[in-house]
């Protein structure tokens, strides 16, 4: 029993130490932009394995050097309640869980009827911009309750120690927009041969709707879904409140 208590104490100390590490790293982001994220390092490794080289585009810019149209488009597409929540939009998260549970149940029924034709379940995220940043900065892409719980803790910590403007700035400078394309400045140059500051409404909406699956849409520039979704985001952009 005493041995179990020691192991439990060591696990608790390790957990506290890890959270302290996250807090200190996040505090430093008030002044220093992260050089890379956990997600970027993972993608870099995969690109090297596939291609034997590392084509990499990324250039850090301030929020003032990013078109407000782009900022509005990303918030409208990814997290319309960005200025309202404290890192987690619980209603959206609950809705996503319900949709995923329903989709999984339907898939299991269809698979039971036709076992030779397994059904793939499309997972709905429901994550805020802050949660996405938390995951990209520090965590892996695995789906588990432990990883999700840690994501929520980091998201809440980000909101405590960083302003909304800083969270959005870090997110836009590090999010993936294609294979080896990270950050809005690199994306603007890669797709439209212009700076992020000069992006128009259509270009901004077009980039925003790529975010859930950037490497997929990079290969489908004429996607009708992409065009239709961009039109929808353009209609919502003016209703978005920026921090």
Q: What is the CATH number of the domain that holds 228?
A: 1.10.3810.10
- Predicted confidence at residue 121, as pLDDT, reads 40
Q: Coil, helix or strand for 180?
A: coil
Q: How many CB atoms lie within 10 A of CB 107?
A: 15
Q: 205 vs 49, 63, 188, 195, 214, CA distance in Å? A: 32, 17, 12, 15, 13
Any domain includes 196? yes
- Predicted confidence at residue 184, as pLDDT, reads 97
Phi-psi group of 12: left, alpha or beta (phi > 0 → left; psi -120 to 50 → alpha; rest → beta): alpha
- Predicted confidence at residue 103, as pLDDT, reads 47
Any domain includes 23? no
Any domain includes 75? yes
What does the alpha-carbon distance between residue 33 and residue 35 come to, in Å, rounded to a whole number?
6
- Predicted confidence at residue 175, as pLDDT, reads 96
- Predicted confidence at residue 44, as pLDDT, reads 85
Any domain includes 136? no
- Predicted confidence at residue 212, as pLDDT, reads 87
Strand partners, 148: none
Q: What is the span of the domain harbouring residue 238?
A: 37-85+162-243
Label the pairing between strands 181-182 and 176-178.
Answer: antiparallel
Any domain includes 111? no
- Predicted confidence at residue 207, as pLDDT, reads 96
Any domain includes 135? no
Regions of the chain short of the pLDDT cut 70: 90-126
- Predicted confidence at residue 4, as pLDDT, reads 73
**Strand locations in 58-191, DSSP E?**
176-178, 181-182
- Predicted confidence at residue 113, as pLDDT, reads 60
- Predicted confidence at residue 111, as pLDDT, reads 58
Any domain includes 46? yes
Q: Compute φ and ψ for 52, nearest 5 degrees.
A: 75, 5
Domain count, the chain: 1
Joined tokens for residue 145: 């309750």
Query: Residue 146 belongs to what H/E stretch?
Result: helix 145-161
Any domain includes 41? yes
**Strand locations in the chain, DSSP E?**
176-178, 181-182
């Amino acid at each position: 029993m005493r041995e179990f208590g020691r192991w439990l104490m060591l696990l608790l100390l390790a957990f506290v130490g890890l959270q302290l590490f996250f807090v200190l790293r996040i505090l430093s982001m008030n002044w220093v932009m992260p050089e890379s994220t956990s997600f970027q390092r993972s993608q870099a490794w995969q690109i090297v394995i596939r291609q034997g080289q590392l084509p990499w585009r990324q250039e850090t810019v301030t929020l003032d050097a990013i078109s407000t149209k782009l900022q509005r488009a990303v918030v409208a597409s990814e997290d319309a309640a960005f200025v309202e929540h404290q890192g987690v939009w619980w209603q959206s998260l609950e809705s996503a869980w319900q949709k995923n549970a329903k989709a999984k149940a339907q898939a299991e029924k269809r698979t039971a009827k036709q076992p030779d034709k397994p059904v793939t379940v499309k997972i709905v995220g429901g994550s805020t911009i802050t949660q996405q940043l938390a995951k990209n900065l520090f965590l892996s892409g695995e789906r588990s309750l432990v990883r999700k719980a840690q994501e929520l803790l980091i998201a809440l910590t980000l909101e405590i120690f960083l302003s909304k403007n800083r969270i959005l700035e870090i997110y836009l400078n590090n999010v993936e927009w294609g294979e080896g394309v990270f950050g809005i400045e690199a994306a603007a140059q890669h797709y439209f041969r212009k700076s992020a500051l000069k992006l128009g409404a259509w270009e901004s909406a077009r980039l925003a709707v790529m975010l859930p699956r950037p490497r997929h849409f990079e290969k489908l520039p004429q996607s009708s879904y992409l065009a239709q979704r961009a039109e929808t985001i353009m209609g919502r952009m003016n209703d978005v409140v920026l921090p």
